[in-house]
Amino acid sequence: MSTSTLQRFLLEDLDIRGAIVQLDDVWQALLTGRSYAPAVRDLLGAMSAVACVIGGNLKQAGRLTIQLQGHGPVSLLVVDINESLNLRGYAKASEDAAGKAGISELVGDGQLLLTLDMPGLRHPYQSYVPIEGNSVAEIFEHYLTQSEQQPAALHTAASSRGAACLFLQKLPDADRKDPDGWDRVTRLASTVRAEELLGLSAEDILIRLFHQETVRLLDARELTHDWPQDWDKVRDVLRSLGRAELEAMLAEHGEILIHDDLSNHEYRFNADDVAALFAEPAPEPRTLH
């Protein structure tokens, strides 16, 4: 049972919807074997939590990928989540990331691309997300407000032990139900502290923030990080390079090491492994009649 969840909720009397994402064991799995600088780690955590919010709100099943590229210390950051809320992600950063803060310092003149791949689409839907703001929350507040034509509010938190996001969105009838409701709720939400997002349960956070409102909780959904190794796929990739190319790599490095950054797996091949890739299959035994 995963300890990472997406808890959706509705402020019924105000026509405001929301969600709380809390990444615990999933976040620890994403960090396994990786030694990110704190600023890079927290950037990846915030992006992962926001990806879970967006992925959990998709109206149709599909795979969401968020890719951030730049010319700063963080040259690449990718987060990927599918319809079953199976998450993976990683960041590629230089040592210069130590001591940096905020997207502008970490990424520089970067670009943020959101890709949605759904069954039935001839080509994945892609949208560039304007980098307006100096945090993941600010950037996606602007993006979601513009793309969905409804105001959104986001608050994220990340540390070595977890990552989280509180999401709110104003629905079309909100002003009719309570003209001051959105302003009141967003002011209350702005008081949430990082340690609360990371340490309290989703229900306790909602009680702390909105105890005077009518909150309807929807069924919580588990978030996972379940991407097993795929040796057959890697072997096919190596075969496509050709035996001569692989033997040249062996001669230079002594082995072939492939790292699947997104799923966080290593694949090692020695000379015997490479030879086996191109070995003729044994003939099937003949039956004498």
Residues 246 and 202 in one domain: no
Of 50-59, 218-227, 253-262, give the lowest mean pLDDT range. 253-262
Determine what percent of the chain is predicted with pLDDT higher than 70: 96
Q: Kindly report, residue by residue over 54-100, the tens digit of the pLDDT.
A: 999 987 888 999 999 988 899 999 999 999 999 999 999 988 888 77
Q: Kindly report, residue by residue over 148-201, the tens digit of the pLDDT.
A: 889 999 999 999 999 999 999 999 999 999 999 999 999 999 999 999 999 999
Residues 268 and 142 in one domain: no
DSSP state of 283: P
The angle subtended at Cα 221 by Cα 87 and Cα 10, nearest 5°, is: 120
Distance CA 273, CA 268 (A): 9
Determine what percent of the chain is predicted with pLDDT higher than 90: 71
Residues 138 and 273 in one domain: no
- Total Cβ atoms within 10 A of residue 210: 20
Secondary structure of residue 169 in the 3-state scheme: strand
CATH of the domain at 245: 3.90.1280
Range of the domain at 154: 5-222
The answer to whether 137 touches 158, Cβ cutoff 8 Å, is no
CATH of the domain at 18: 3.55.30.10
Residues 22 and 123 in one domain: yes
- pTM score: 0.88
What DSSP string runs through 2-16?
A: -S-EEEEEEETTTTE
User: Above 60 in pLDDT, residue 282?
Assistant: no
Distance CA 28, CA 30 (A): 5
- Flag whether 68 is in a domain: yes
Q: Which two tokens stand for residue 152?
A: 């959104």
Q: Say what the pLDDT of residue 53 is.
A: 97
The answer to whether 65 touches 29, Cβ cutoff 8 Å, is no
Domain boundary among 197, 222, 247: 222
The answer to whether 258 touches 267, Cβ cutoff 8 Å, is yes
Distance CA 228, CA 85 (A): 15
Residues 210 and 236 in one domain: no
Residues 23 and 44 in one domain: yes
- Which long-range contacts link 256-261 to residues 24+ away (Cβ below 8 Å)? 258/234, 260/234, 261/78, 261/90, 261/92
For range 90-112, the mean pLDDT? 87
